[in-house]
Structure 1
């Protein structure tokens, strides 16, 4: 089970991910208006990068919410299942780079 401190950290992570998404949107809109970046190929590549980062932040935000809300409900079985499902790919990735 997660401690209160861990639950608070997950809530903070969720909130920070949301703020980063807003910052990304703001800065992407500024870049899109810049004549230096608004050229064929450049802006589309920046948009692809921006969308990829936003997707990862949304995934992080959603996962953080799932973990802390499940822990707060006290659903140990669901919490353990969530943690096992998501650590398997990370473990295999870490093993592949070592």
Structure 2
């Protein structure tokens, strides 16, 4: 995609966000859903460019062993994650077919 970059603002701030994510993850031994929500809600990881009206629009965390998924719409905060129930609904539907 570099060929399309016209310079100026690095919209995604990918390098900075990756570094923030790496710092968070290197400081913990076991990652649970609450920690994942906190990390994704951190301003070093979550993109929020107010002036440009550009930023993170949703975030997803999952506990795969339990098939538990939570989703935050809009700028993620630890308090705005809600259970994502579509996978559970689909699995139950398939079970009875």
**TM-score in terms of structure 2 length:** 0.30
**TM-score in terms of structure 1 length:** 0.30
Higher strand proportion: 2
CA radius of gyration, larger in: 1
Q: Which is bigger in relative contact order (C-alpha 8 A, separation at least 6)?
A: 1
